[in-house]
Amino acid sequence: MGQVQSSIPQNEYQGLIDLFRALSGEKWRRREGWVDINSPPEAWHGIEISSGHVTSIELPANDLHGILPSSIGNFKRLESLDLSKNQIVGQVPAELGALNNLKILNLSCNDFRGEIPPKFFDCKSLEELHLFQNSLSGSIPLEIDQLVELKVCQLQYNKFSGSITSGLCNLPRLEKLNLRGNCLSGSLPQEIGRLTSLIFLSLRNNEISGPIPSSLGCCRFLEFLNLSGNQFSGSIPDSIGQLEDLRYLYLFDNALEGCVPVSLYRLRYLSDASFRDNRMSYRLADSFLQKGTNVALLASCYNERPVHAD
């Protein structure tokens, strides 16, 4: 382990040493500088330093094994932390909430377990949160609404349960929300319409029930909507036809009834859709059969067809 001091504060230097030791640094795939006693932290693989502080730690797919140490909270000027695609275990440290300048956090594709501690959401500058493909459980904490700068929230392929918290609906800058492949239940709150910056929404393969909220029509920038593999009931709200930028619409494998709303025929950018495995009427109104390519698409979307990822 490198022993040469640099211009960074002692607690940040110690935090790097702790990280190396706690995550089996001697076995890392790339560890240039970390094991050179004459190498300052500025030269260590994956570390960026600016104005005398660690601002970026990027060690994805690097054979990191172990538990993330609590001293990860020492890096007060850290803006980006990427430890994805490793074998890190244990809980997400509450100390991450002390990173007031953190903008991008990627801990995806590891084996983090348990609930996300409420203190984690004190990192209010966060713009991108990638925690997908772990074993996180429990409810999504209400405190998530403290992340007012959040643009990307990827929590798919975990074991989250309970209903979708209204806190998720109070994120004015959120553009991408992916909760696919969890155990979420209850209804989708009408407050989802508050996410007026939303471009991508996937809730596929959960246990969400009740009607599709008409307020989704307020998410005017939405391009991708996947609610398939749930227990949604009732009819498709007319307001979905207000999503003028919608390109992908997946509502298959639910308990939806009724017909495709006339408003959906006007979605000129719609390029893929599927409503199969519902209780809907398959007959399209004769007056719309010659209205263009989107009608042809909607006419075929009851059949088995390849579906877009996510």
- Residue 53 resides in a domain: yes
- Residue 285 resides in a domain: no
Average pLDDT score, the chain: 91
Specify the pLDDT at position 36. Answer: 84
- Residue 30 resides in a domain: yes
- Residue 211 resides in a domain: no
- Read off the pLDDT of each residue in 126-131 and give the average, rounded to a whole number: 99
Specify the pLDDT at position 260. Answer: 86
Give residue-wise pLDDT tens across range 86-107.
Answer: 999 999 999 999 999 999 999 9
d(CA 19, CA 64): 10
With cut-offs at 50, 70 and 90, classify the pLDDT of residue 299.
Answer: low
Give residue-wise pLDDT tens across range 180-204.
Answer: 999 999 999 999 999 999 999 999 9
Q: Is the dihedral of CA 45, 112, 206, 303 positive or negative?
A: positive
DSSP code string of 28-91: -S--TTTT-TT--GGGSTTEEEETTEEEEEE-TTS--EEE--GGGGG-TT--EEE--SSEEEEP
- Residue 252 resides in a domain: no
- Residue 33 resides in a domain: yes
The domain that holds 100 is classified in CATH as 3.80.10.10
**Residue 28: which domain range?**
1-59+68-81+91-107+116-128
- Residue 234 resides in a domain: no
- Residue 223 resides in a domain: no
What is the number of structural domains in the chain?
1
DSSP code string of 103-118: -EEE--SSEEEEPPPG
Give residue-wise pLDDT tens across range 245-284.
Answer: 999 999 999 999 998 888 998 899 999 999 989 998 766 5
